[in-house]
Structure 1
Amino acid sequence: MSPIDQDELEVAYGVHRSDLMRLLLARTGNREEAEDLLQELWLRVKQNPAGPVLNGRAYLFRMAQNLVIDRLREQQRRMQRERRWSDTTTDFAAAGVEPVDQRRSAEEAILDREEIAALTSAIANLPEGARRAFELHKIQGLSHVEVASILGISRSGVEKHMAVAMKYLRRALMD
């Protein structure tokens, strides 16, 4: 198989655009963010690829997945930065400002407990295969390969169970 050129990669993007959007939407759970990532993917496709591309579809899907991972890492770094900033101690007395009470209100604690109960119930009501895959991967922290080995299914099967679980949980928690 010979490497594809830039024009063929752009054609592959056009052919697989809707599938790429579905992937990004499934990974982010947010249409606007998925559209942003799809646009960023297009901009990267318009640039020359780093090396020879043998399979345009696989290359595009890997790029899309990498963009999602990069976005998540960026969000985590931003949250850590903001947390460090907000955790810095300020001499409130010297500033003549009364510190904000950092304790959670009773209402917030009740809402947290209700949210945890809703999530626990939603997980318990997942279809059996999806529930087992979700618990092994998300709760016990096993990789998809390890989950596949334990459940005696393919890695693709684990990914499908996870997609079902995430879709079901997103819907359950939105309601």
Structure 2
Amino acid sequence: MQYRQKTDAELVVLLTLNDEEAFSELYVRYKSKLQYFCFHFLKVESEACDIVQEVFIRIWESRCFINPELSFSSFLYVMARNRVLNYFKHIDVENKIKDILAKQSLEEENIESDLISTEYQDILRTAIEHLPPQRKKIFNMSRIDGMSHKEIAAILNISVYTVQEHISEALAFIRHYFAQHSDLSLGLMLLWII
């Protein structure tokens, strides 16, 4: 209750001191506004939610470096805007890759597509198998079963933040795994798909 009465600057000071309740209060204050902001550009609710979760994960990870004297809301919106821009850059690169593949003959494209798909699936399956059990379960619930972070948190009786952190760590591990276990062109393509 006392955290609701604090200003953003006061909460950020507490956040820099590793105060999880201060972080939770900032999350509650800005989550919906930030999702609306991202949705305005993306027009896809799940992508907007993912970006907001990534922003707050980065906030927590870099909490010691946040300047409480600067506007926290401006900081959040700049981070969200940058992530939205990166999202569109990734989409643009993916579209360019698709255009290049489309220019190849249909037969070559089908053969290459089958090989890439098979290799991608094998590497992805292996990468997921290397995740710690809880992280693997949460990742599969999110990406395979299509459950929201809130649903996963309720089922596993953990916080939404814990779910977000597991998803973020799983994606980072999978990207790293792809970089180590696939050739460069396939790895670059898959970084945008994941």
TM-score w.r.t. length of structure 2 = 0.47
Is 1:149 aligned to 2:164, yes or no?
no
The correspondence of residues 68-79 of structure 1 with structure 2, limited to 5 A, is: 68-73=83-88, 76=91
Q: Give the number of aligned pairs.
A: 119
For residues 59 and 147 of structure 1, the distance between their equivalents in structure 2, rounded to whole angstroms, comes to 30
Q: What letter matches 2:175 in structure 1?
A: R
Residue 80 of structure 2: which of 52, 62, 65 is its match?
Answer: 65
Residue 37 (structure 1) aligns with: none
Residue 173 (structure 2) aligns with: 168
For residues 7 and 130 of structure 2, the distance between their equivalents in structure 1, rounded to whole angstroms, comes to 49
SS at match of 1:142: coil
Specify the structure having the higher radius of gyration (Cα): 1
Shift of residue 62, structure 1, vs aligned partner: 4.3
Shift of residue 113, structure 1, vs aligned partner: 0.7
For residues 78 and 117 of structure 1, the distance between their equivalents in structure 2, rounded to whole angstroms, comes to 23
SS at match of 2:106: coil
Shift of residue 3, structure 1, vs aligned partner: 7.9
Give the direction of change, closer, same or farther, for the CA distance of 1:82–1:128 in structure 2 (3 Å limit).
Answer: closer
8 Å contact 2:8–2:72 — kept in the other structure? no
Q: What letter matches 1:150 in structure 2?
A: I
Give the direction of change, closer, same or farther, for the CA distance of 1:69–1:136 in structure 2 (3 Å limit).
Answer: farther
Give the direction of change, closer, same or farther, for the CA distance of 1:133–1:62 in structure 2 (3 Å limit).
Answer: farther
Q: What letter matches 1:63 in structure 2?
A: V
Deviations 1:17-71, CA, capped at 9 Å, x for gaps: xxxxxxx9xx6xxxxxxxxxxxxxxxxxxxxxxxxxx983354134302431344
Is 1:111 aligned to 2:116, yes or no?
yes
The correspondence of residues 7-18 of structure 1 with structure 2, limited to 5 A, is: none
Give the direction of change, closer, same or farther, for the CA distance of 1:62–1:144 in structure 2 (3 Å limit).
Answer: farther
Residue 105 (structure 2) aligns with: 101
SS at match of 1:136: helix
Give the direction of change, closer, same or farther, for the CA distance of 1:170–1:79 in structure 2 (3 Å limit).
Answer: closer
Shift of residue 154, structure 1, vs aligned partner: 0.2
> Mean alpha-carbon deviation: is it higher for 56-65 or for 116-125?
56-65
For residues 172 and 78 of structure 1, the distance between their equivalents in structure 2, rounded to whole angstroms, comes to 21
Deviations 1:52-106, CA, capped at 9 Å, x for gaps: xx9833541343024313442465478679979x99xxxxxxxxxxx96223253
Residue 56 (structure 1) aligns with: 71
Shift of residue 124, structure 1, vs aligned partner: 1.8
SS at match of 1:150: helix
For residues 100 and 161 of structure 1, the distance between their equivalents in structure 2, rounded to whole angstroms, comes to 39
The structure that is helix-richer by fraction is 2
Percent pairwise identity: 19
Q: What letter matches 2:82 in structure 1?
A: L
Residue 94 (structure 1) aligns with: none
Is 1:124 aligned to 2:133, yes or no?
no
Residue 145 (structure 2) aligns with: 140
